[in-house]
Amino acid sequence: MEAADAFYTEWRRHRPGERRNVERAGLLADALGARVPGVPVLTVVGSKGKGTAATYASAYLAANGRRVVTVTSPALRGDAERIRVDGVAISEEELGELGRRLRDASGALPAANEGYLSPSGLFTLAGLLHARAVGSDIVVLEAGMGGVSDDVSLFTPAVVAITEVFGEHLGVLGDTAAAIAADKAGVATAATSAVVSLPQSPSVTAAIAATVAARTGGGVEVIAPGASGVPDRLLPSGLGRMNAELGCVAARRLLGATGRPDVSGDRLTRVLSSVTLPGRCSWHPVPGTGTMVLIDSAIDRTGAAAALTEAYRHWSQVDHVVVCLPDHKDVPGVVAELAGLPVTYVRMPDHRNLRFTRPVPAGWSVVDTTELSRERLASLGTRIVVLGTVYFTGWVLDLIGAETERLFEA
Helix axes 119-134, 22-31, angle to 10 degrees: 20
What is the Cα–Cα distance from 396 to 373, expressed in whole angstroms? 9
Would you say the C-alpha torsion 373, 376, 382, 387 has a positive or negative sign?
negative
The reported pLDDT for the residue numbered 68 is 98
What is the Cα–Cα distance from 199 to 208, expressed in whole angstroms? 11
Cα dihedral 208, 214, 217, 222, rounded to 10, equals 0
Is pTM beyond 0.85? Reply is: yes
CA geometry: angle 173, 179, 182, nearest 5 deg: 95
Task: At 316, give phi and psi (nearest 5°).
Answer: -80, -20
Question: What single DSSP character describes residue 174?
Answer: B
The β-bridge partners of 45 are 162
Candidates 219, 240, 156; CA nearest to 192 is 156
The reported pLDDT for the residue numbered 2 is 63
The reported pLDDT for the residue numbered 397 is 97
Helix or strand holding residue 367 (H, E): strand 365-368
Determine how β-strand 320-324 pairs with β-strand 221-222: unpaired
Determine how β-strand 194-197 pairs with β-strand 41-45: unpaired
Distance of CA 51 to the CA centre of its chain: 4
pLDDT tens sequence for the chain (410 residues): 466 688 998 888 888 778 889 999 999 999 999 999 999 999 999 998 999 999 999 999 999 999 999 999 888 999 999 999 999 999 999 999 999 999 999 989 887 778 899 999 999 999 999 999 999 999 999 998 889 999 999 999 999 999 999 877 666 778 899 999 999 999 999 999 999 999 999 999 999 999 999 999 999 999 999 999 999 999 998 889 999 999 999 999 999 999 999 988 899 999 999 999 999 999 999 999 999 999 999 999 999 999 999 999 999 999 999 999 999 899 999 999 999 999 999 999 877 678 999 999 999 999 999 999 999 999 999 999 999 999 999 999 999 999 999 999 99
Start-to-end C-alpha separation, the chain: 36
Helix axes 22-31, 92-107, angle to 10 degrees: 100
The reported pLDDT for the residue numbered 1 is 46
C-alpha distance from residue 149 to each of 23, 179, 207 (Å): 10, 12, 16
| All residues at 6 or more sequence positions from 387 whose CB lies less than 8 Å from its CB, including other chains | 296, 297, 298, 303, 304, 307, 321, 322, 323, 324, 325, 334, 393
Determine how β-strand 68-71 pairs with β-strand 83-85: antiparallel
C-alpha distance from residue 121 to each of 11, 291, 406 (Å): 11, 38, 23
Helix or strand holding residue 28 (H, E): helix 22-31
Q: What are the start-end ranges of the H helices in 217-293?
A: 240-257, 266-273
Candidates 102, 118, 114; CA nearest to 152 is 118
The reported pLDDT for the residue numbered 169 is 66
Q: What are the start-end ranges of the H helices in 32-163?
A: 50-63, 92-107, 119-134
The reported pLDDT for the residue numbered 194 is 98
| All residues at 6 or more sequence positions from 370 whose CB lies less than 8 Å from its CB, including other chains | 349
Question: What single DSSP character describes residue 406?
Answer: B
Helix axes 50-63, 266-273, angle to 10 degrees: 150
